[in-house]
Structure 1
Amino acid sequence: MKRAITLWSESGGVGKTTMATNVSAALGRQDERVLVIDLDPQLGSLTDHVGYQELKTGDRDHLGHVLLDDEKDIRSLIVETEDFDLVPSHEGLANIESEMAARNTSLREFQLRSALKSVAGEYDYFIIDPPATLNVLVDNALVAARNVLIPIELTRKGSISIEGLEDTLDSMERGFKKFDDSFELGILAVVPNEVGDSNIYRDTREELETDGKPVTPFGVRKRDVLKEAWKNQMNLFEFAESDETRDLREYEGDLLANFEQLARIVQQGTVDAVEVEA
């Protein structure tokens, strides 16, 4: 399998899905073949962001069926968007944990990784966006990707959440090694997101860097244009180019550069891929 990344934070509301959407778009615009897997059954997931919310309801085949049945091919679920291909989420995923338990599904945390093998040669990158709440969907995302990109709020709460998340990943790694000796979970980067100008942002960044966390040398600013792009069901690159939307203001252009920098980190596998003033 080619490189796979999951964006995850145990704290909700940190802009995880917006980041996943725009990093995927940035990769796609560099002629990378990108498959995005939306594992979040809740309203406001990545599938909604890019305008395919109608696929999240109704009596149709969906990702839950693929995770429950080895005979189902994930390829049949893929839809094409402007900059990447998408496996949409579905409300039926909300019941996946109980359904797996009822069916006594073996190695249930490895189902997504197994399902992606059929399309492994067709894509350069797999970007997985699970829900924030730790459950079997998050387990599947982490097992399939094994590389985690973590958006973080630059506050004391965010700093504490990183420590808790590291403990969670360490515990999961030890557990999964029982089934696969080579299993490793790694934090690719910690990304300060929705950053402002207060002293607490600077202080928290310094604490994280002092503790040796792989913090990106830039933060993604909090900008209303990201909400506007979401409202228009576009990624930010589409929004900036569309004749139906306003032009980006000069101070908003840094967002496009940020997502391109994150794409470079994904491609090169290290935060050292970019060197930017904090």
Structure 2
Amino acid sequence: MSNRITVSNQKGGVGKTTISLHLAVALAKKDKDVLVVDLDPSAYLSAHLGLDDYYYDENKNSLAYNLVEGPQENLEDIVLQTDEGVDVVPSNYDMRGVEDRLNAERNREMRLRMILDRIDGDYDYTMVDSPPSVGVLYDNAILACERVIIPIKDEDMSIVSIHRALDEIDEIEKAFGTNIEILAIIPNLVRPDGVATDTLERLRSTDGLKEYLTEFEIRQRVAIRRAMKNRTTLYKHKPNSDQVKNFMKLADLVVSKCEGENDEEEKEE
């Protein structure tokens, strides 16, 4: 089974899509087969890959359709290849009505898991870019993956927002009787100033957070914004950027935690 990870934070503006895409490509550069699912109705990840205008077939076979109606026979048709070395299940405008439509459906929180069970068996990793708000799609991402990376910004509200995110995950665990693993809390869009330094110091000394917080951060760089604007990644736009190594460090951490755990499970068997 694929190692499924969702990049989630119920607070917007934390660079969730940037982390999702760059981590996925970093894993691909480590010779991993990677599938990326754009579960955000805003479809920013799809747009950054130039897939926002992708025209679905007349049979309405899209991610949105499969979430609402259940996995279809030709489900593999929603998976697209990209020149970034990862495969993608894109989002489009149809996703904007999915939350409302799912609210009346049975097993509505498990629809993404049902889809992934059918399509991600040949992938080493599946990355899910989740919506920046609590709701049925957010629950789908958490429950389908059961592993979470939480990006945060270097601002005073980060401590409050991250506690809210962890509380929400606790509620999902209790409601569905499952265990969700926090792989990492990754500071993102970090500015080179004293305020950022002070905030990170407080985060790294806060009980309940410091054990998840990475020792490195993704620093704010114009090159990252330009890469995303030009519908590509930092690896292609500016491969010598100092932040490339930090995305690769995040990939190393993910591989260590996911594949290290898999090795332990195999030994126990």
Q: What is the TM-score normalised by the length of structure 2? A: 0.88
The match for 1:208 is 203
Q: Which SS does the other structure have where 1:154 is aligned?
A: coil
The match for 1:85 is 87
The separation in 1 between residues aligned to 2:57 and 2:124, in whole angstroms, is: 31
Residues 57 and 157 of structure 1: CA distance in aligned 2, closer, same or farther (over 3 Å): farther
Alpha-carbon shift at residue 198 of structure 1 (Å):
2.3
Match of 2:100 among 95, 98, 101: 98
State yes or no: 1:74 paired with 2:72: no
Identity between Structure 1 and Structure 2 (%): 32
Q: Deviations over 1:160-210 (max 9, x none)?
A: 111111111111110111xxxxx1112111111111232222222222222
Alpha-carbon shift at residue 2 of structure 1 (Å):
2.0
The separation in 2 between residues aligned to 1:36 and 1:191, in whole angstroms, is: 19
CA RMSD of aligned residues (A): 1.9
The separation in 2 between residues aligned to 1:47 and 1:200, in whole angstroms, is: 33
Kept in 2: contact 1:2–1:125 (CA 8 A): yes
The match for 2:53 is 54
The match for 1:180 is none
The separation in 2 between residues aligned to 1:71 and 1:21, in whole angstroms, is: 25
Kept in 2: contact 1:41–1:56 (CA 8 A): no
Kept in 1: contact 2:36–2:126 (CA 8 A): yes
Q: What is the TM-score normalised by the length of structure 1? A: 0.85
Unaligned runs of 5+ in 1: 178-182, 242-247, 273-278
Unaligned runs of 5+ in 2: 261-269
The match for 2:248 is 260
Q: Which SS does the other structure have where 2:96 is aligned?
A: helix
Residues 215 and 71 of structure 1: CA distance in aligned 2, closer, same or farther (over 3 Å): closer
Kept in 2: contact 1:34–1:123 (CA 8 A): yes
Aligned residues: 253
The separation in 2 between residues aligned to 1:57 and 1:225, in whole angstroms, is: 32
The separation in 2 between residues aligned to 1:193 and 1:71, in whole angstroms, is: 35
Letter in 2 for 1:221: R
Alpha-carbon shift at residue 58 of structure 1 (Å):
8.7
State yes or no: 1:193 paired with 2:201: no
State yes or no: 1:111 paired with 2:111: yes
The match for 1:30 is 30
Letter in 2 for 1:215: L
Q: Which runs of 4+ in 1 moved over 6 A?
A: none
Alpha-carbon shift at residue 146 of structure 1 (Å):
1.0
